[in-house]
Amino acid sequence: MFDRLQRFARDLTGGSDAVLVGHLVDQLDATLAGVAITRALAAGEVDTSLARERLSDVESVGDAARRALIVDLSRTLAAPMDREDMFRLSRSVDDVLDNLRDLAREFDLYRIPSEPLLVDALANVEAGVLGLREAIGSLLEAPERASLLAADAKKTDVRSSYQHAVAALLAEDREVTTEILRRRELLRRVDVTGLRLAEAADALADGAVKRSH
């Protein structure tokens, strides 16, 4: 009974909003750490097996934040944005981190020590995640600004970077070798990551617009 009264009081004072937003920020921070690891991996600055280990640790942090969000969201009377949109946002951010984990795994499995063609695309992924984090920070006090920032986060050139990278890869050799195919899979993984990032931006923009009305 006392716990329910505490949650009710927290809802009335807006404390629950800050808690839920905090969980999303924790997810995004874990995702930013994942991007940093994969950028270092693509640049050849970290060993593939070490990158996998670090990504696994980062993914655990992100998963814990998502679980905490789901638990608190189920117990909260009023959420800072539409519950479905908040769940979509959290799920899509989780998908971004999952794809970064898979990217590190594929680097290791394919025995590819680095891939400079991925550096620009991953920099754009990082820019998008940073944009989402800034948008989340504005959600409670300035939802209109949050929706605009979320829309901007979607405009990062991940797809364009991916297309240019594929063109550069195929221009390296007229023959489609096994190595080319493996590297092509790495590029495709980052493109999928960009799609999941766009879905997260859409969910946040939708939720912020609803909050502002």
Domains of the chain (ranges, CATH numbers): 2-212 (1.20.58.220)
Check whether 58 has a pLDDT greater than 50: yes
From the number of C-beta atoms within 10 Å of its C-beta (0-12, 13-18, 19+), residue 188 rates as middle
Rg (CA), the chain: 19
Q: What is the mean pLDDT of residues 1-9?
A: 41
Contact 58, 34 (CB under 8 A): yes
Neighbours of 117 (CB within 10 A): 21
Residue 47: the pLDDT is 95
Q: Is residue 12 over pLDDT 50?
A: no
Q: What angle do CA 139, 142, 147 make, to 5 degrees?
A: 60
Query: What mean pLDDT do residues 86-96 have?
Result: 97
Average pLDDT over residues 48-61: 96
Q: Over 50: is that where the pLDDT of 53 sits?
A: yes
**Cα gap 8→24, rounded to integer Å:** 21
- Averaged over 23-40, what is the pLDDT? 98
Distance CA 90, CA 24 (A): 7
pLDDT of residue 14: 46
pLDDT recorded at residue 88 = 96
What residues contact residue 199 under an 8 Å CB cut-off, 6+ apart? 88, 92, 95
Question: In the prediction, which pLDDT does 7 show?
Answer: 44
Please, are residues 63 and 167 in contact by the beta-carbon 8 Å criterion? Answer: no
pLDDT tens digits, 155-200: 988 999 999 999 999 998 778 899 999 999 999 999 999 999 999 9
Q: Which of 12-16, 95-99, 111-115 has the lowest mean pLDDT?
A: 12-16
Average pLDDT rounded to a whole number, residues 31-56: 97
Contact between 74 and 9 under an 8 Å Cβ cutoff? The reply is no
Q: Any idea what the Cα angle at residue 84 is, between residues 83 and 85, rounded to 5°? A: 90
- Please give the Cα distance from 144 to 135 (Å, whole number): 10
**What φ, ψ does residue 24 adopt, rounded to 5°?**
-65, -40
CA gap 70, 64 in Å, rounded: 10
